[in-house]
Structure 1
């Protein structure tokens, strides 16, 4: 489950990476063509484009494992689907709301939890493989990064909403608060919990492999 930057087959010789790229591009275009709110879609996809540019720029410098590329791919799909609608109006979240008799559309909560759960391990690979961070820290730091990045994201999201939307109600709709005054804190806590679970599982698996003859 660890990256091996010494072995770097070209992108065209990586069928899984080609498949993920094609599927993501098709889905990204689909959400852009079908979104009912282009302004929201564009703003939400700044994060998506930033991550894609990072992955492309460093593809031949540091190669993630297929496990990490799968986790990143899943997170990008979650986020892009979220960008297709205002989070409070996400169709899957509305379906869950009805099925589970929930008080709010919780799709945004799923994405924040997914941020920690799906991206902590790729961060671990960078720390352990590229930066050669000590083993314990390579598991601890991703959780701290998830917590820090989630906090920064909430601040940036607030600033974007304040600048891009003139009305307080429109800004709160963009933020997906749905009347919850503790929305930002809960989002941060869920991302932190996701990262903690991911790193705990990865650490336990490594310990188990180390015990095997």
Structure 2
């Protein structure tokens, strides 16, 4: 009951942020394309809660990822104020917020994939699990880059805000690299905690 209350509260916060961000985004089409994953995730999480509730850790990560996406959609990734602050701190010549987004694109899906594979007993803990999780992360990242490519072909110059390349010719490769770093980081730093959360959840079901 407590977990469902927290989930509902998180969803209310996200819906509120979506409404606020959607009032006057920098670019309406870009906003919609960036927040679509959030719009999909919210009903999926509710629909799956009774049959397949997730660990608190994973719900928290999805919440944080949603905020990253909403901010990126509101300002466009190349204009998020936090990115300009980070660029100033590290003396960078471009807004790096899109790299935060792609890091999260690896970090969070890694735990999603790990939880599904372990709890459905598709794989057991070990090197093969880590390998498959990283492969899934890279596949998701590659799929997203293909979506960006399709958007560029369909929208032409109008896709510039969605792509957020900022003139960087290796943007696609670096995006996938940051997703890879995110996936590896999640496995290195969260696996033990994630295992504890899974066992706790199993005991409560």
Pairwise same-fold verdict (TM > 0.5): yes
Return the offset for 1:187.
0.5
Structure 1 residues 100 and 22: CA distance shift in structure 2, 3 A: same
User: Partners in 2 of 1:206 and 1:114 — Cα distance?
Assistant: 17
| Equivalent position to 1:201, from 185, 189, 196 | 189
User: Partners in 2 of 1:206 and 1:110 — Cα distance?
Assistant: 22
2:82 corresponds to 1:95: no
Identify the residue that residue 171 of structure 2 maps to in structure 1.
183
Deviation digits for residues 27-47 of structure 1 (CA, Å, limit 9, x no counterpart) = 111111131211211122222
| Equivalent position to 2:69, from 79, 94, 100 | 79
Q: Secondary structure at the match of 2:53?
A: coil
| Equivalent position to 2:115, from 125, 148, 153 | 125
TM-score by length of 1: 0.82
Identify the residue that residue 51 of structure 1 maps to in structure 2.
41
Q: Secondary structure at the match of 1:14?
A: helix
Alignment of 1:152-191 (within 5 A): 152-163=143-154, 165-167=155-157, 170-191=158-179
On the 8 A contact 1:87/1:107 being kept in 2, the answer is yes
User: Partners in 2 of 1:199 and 1:59 — Cα distance?
Assistant: 24
Return the offset for 1:121.
1.4
On the 8 A contact 1:75/1:119 being kept in 2, the answer is no
Identify the residue that residue 24 of structure 2 maps to in structure 1.
34
**Structure 2: gaps of 5 or more residues:** 197-205
| Equivalent position to 2:58, from 50, 54, 68 | 68
**Structure 1: gaps of 5 or more residues:** 1-8, 209-213
TM-score by length of 2: 0.85
Q: Count residues in correspondence.
A: 195
User: Partners in 2 of 1:34 and 1:111 — Cα distance?
Assistant: 21
Instruction: Let me know the Cα RMSD of the aligned residues.
Output: 2.2
On the 8 A contact 1:86/1:176 being kept in 2, the answer is yes
Identify the residue that residue 151 of structure 1 maps to in structure 2.
142
Identify the residue that residue 9 of structure 2 maps to in structure 1.
19
